């Protein structure tokens, strides 16, 4: 007699990481949040300065973020628990609004 046994291992999110993790980014950069867990965690990014919430594991750096300090928290959640990690960074690049302002009001 043979038995086939399936074991479903469940686990809360762990080993949360952000890649690439750096102090500065440029518009268009993509910041990935990932964790281990079963079932697969869902993700959200929260801007801890203004409270904006972005669903998904990827935070895309936008032009309107240039020249500002940012603090975002990524949270990974599944039915067993959640875990969070915080990232502080500044966005470098050319702020086109400031260039237009200098151009037209000189």
Q: What is the pLDDT of residue 4?
A: 75
- Domain count for the chain, please give it: 1
Give residue 52's pLDDT band: very low, low, confident or very high (50, 70, 90): very high
**Does residue 55 lie within any of the structural domains?**
yes
HEC readout, 24-91: EECCCCEEEEEEEEECCCEEEEEECCCCCEEECCEEECCHHHECCEEEEEEEEEECCEEEEEEEEEEE
In a domain, 97, yes or no: yes
In a domain, 33, yes or no: yes
Tokens linked to 92? 């470098």
Quick one: DSSP state of residue 19?
E
Q: Is residue 98 part of a domain?
A: yes
Higher pLDDT, 99 or 7: 7
Domain assignment of residue 72, yes or no: yes
In a domain, 9, yes or no: no
Q: What pLDDT sits at residue 30?
A: 98
- In this prediction, residue 96 carries a pLDDT of 53
Asked, for residue 68, whether it belongs to a domain, the answer is yes
Which structural domain, as residue segments, surrounds residue 44?
A: 15-104
């Amino acid at each position: 007699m043979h038995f086939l046994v399936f074991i479903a291992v469940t686990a809360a999110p762990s080993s949360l990481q952000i890649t690439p993790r750096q102090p500065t980014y440029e518009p268009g950069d993509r910041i990935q949040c990932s964790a281990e867990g079963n079932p697969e965690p869902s993700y959200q990014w929260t801007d801890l300065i203004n409270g904006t919430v972005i669903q998904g594991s990827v935070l895309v750096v936008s032009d309107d973020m240039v020249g500002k300090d940012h603090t975002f928290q990524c949270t990974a959640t599944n039915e067993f628990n959640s875990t969070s990690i915080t990232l502080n960074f500044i966005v470098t690049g050319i702020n086109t609004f400031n260039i237009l302002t200098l151009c037209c009001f000189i």
